[in-house]
Structure 1
């Protein structure tokens, strides 16, 4: 069903509205599930990404490390509220420059408490008969009012989301994400073996 989300009517949220709507619902649920399928994005508002794109890998990693403190506080608030975050991240070999950079950040998030698993992009192929799977976030596992977002990008940059509130649809999509999750490998095992010793990624330009 995830692969059909683009054909299902949804509430379209512009970027500012998407962020506000997400914050409104996020802190009211018991868990979140995130499926990340695309292998490259642009994050021009993130200094660490900009340094990577410009070819300064050492600076990129240093700036990424400076994000740890804020993320630690975020994780403490999640723990206080009893919210569990789970993410399945599809990867390719060799990784794209964006993916290599993002996995360094995700490794920090995993060390701080987010549950992240890795899955080869080939595992998505059976559902990708027409197009790549969308980027999906489901808020709520046992919550009475779950919400789901089909995250939208324009030229690789976050631009908004399509919002779903149909409980039956969300249940089906959540189960599909859980299936991928159960197939995945813990990032804490994957990263030291496959990512940490790679040479710096190719500059991307901005």
Structure 2
């Protein structure tokens, strides 16, 4: 069903509306499930990404580490509210410059408590005969009113989302994301083995 999501009707949200709607629903949920498929994005509002895109890898990693304190506070609030975050991140070998950078951030998130696993993108080739899987977030596992967002990007930059509220559709997609997550490798094992010792990326085309 995930591969058909883009063809199904949904409520379109611009960026500001999406952020507000997501925030309101996130803090009422018990769990979030996130599927990340694209291998390259742009995050011009994140100083660490900007440093990576400008070719200053050492500065990028320093700025990423400085994000740990804020993320620690975020995780404390998640724990206080009883919210669990799970993410399946599809990866390539070798990674794109963006992916190599993001995995450094995700390693920090995982050390603090987010449950992140990775899978090679080729493992879902049979689902992507027409297009790649969308970027999806499901809020609510046992919640009575779950919501789901197909996240939208313009030229690689976050630009909004499409919102779904049909419980049956959301359950089906949540199960699909959970299936991929269960098959994935914990990033806490994957990162030291595949990413930690890579040379700095050359951000051509970032």
Match of 1:196 in 2: 196
CA contact (8 A) 1:54 1:204 kept: no
CA displacement 1:21-60 (0-9 Å, x = unmatched): 0000000010000000000000000000000000000000
In 1, the alpha carbon distance for the partners of 2:124 and 2:108 equals 25
Q: How far did residue 84 of structure 1 move?
A: 0.1
Number of aligned positions between the proteins? 206
In 2, the alpha carbon distance for the partners of 1:65 and 1:116 equals 18
Q: Secondary structure at the match of 2:29?
A: coil
Over 2 Å off, 4+ runs: 203-206
In 1, the alpha carbon distance for the partners of 2:87 and 2:41 equals 17
TM-score (norm 2): 0.99
Match of 1:27 in 2: 27
In 1, the alpha carbon distance for the partners of 2:15 and 2:123 equals 30
Q: How far did residue 203 of structure 1 move?
A: 2.5
Q: How far did residue 205 of structure 1 move?
A: 6.1
Could you tell me which runs of 5 or more consecutive residues in structure 2 were left unpaired when the two chains were aligned. Answer: none
Q: Secondary structure at the match of 2:200?
A: coil
CA contact (8 A) 1:55 1:203 kept: yes
Match of 2:7 in 1: 7
Q: Kindly report the root-mean-square deviation, in angstroms, between the aligned alpha carbons of the 2 structures.
A: 0.8
Q: Secondary structure at the match of 1:203?
A: coil
In 2, the alpha carbon distance for the partners of 1:132 and 1:174 equals 17
Q: Secondary structure at the match of 1:172?
A: helix
- Are 1:74 and 2:74 an aligned pair? yes
In 2, the alpha carbon distance for the partners of 1:124 and 1:155 equals 24
Q: Secondary structure at the match of 1:197?
A: coil
TM-score (norm 1): 0.99
Could you tell me which runs of 5 or more consecutive residues in structure 1 were left unpaired when the two chains were aligned. Answer: none
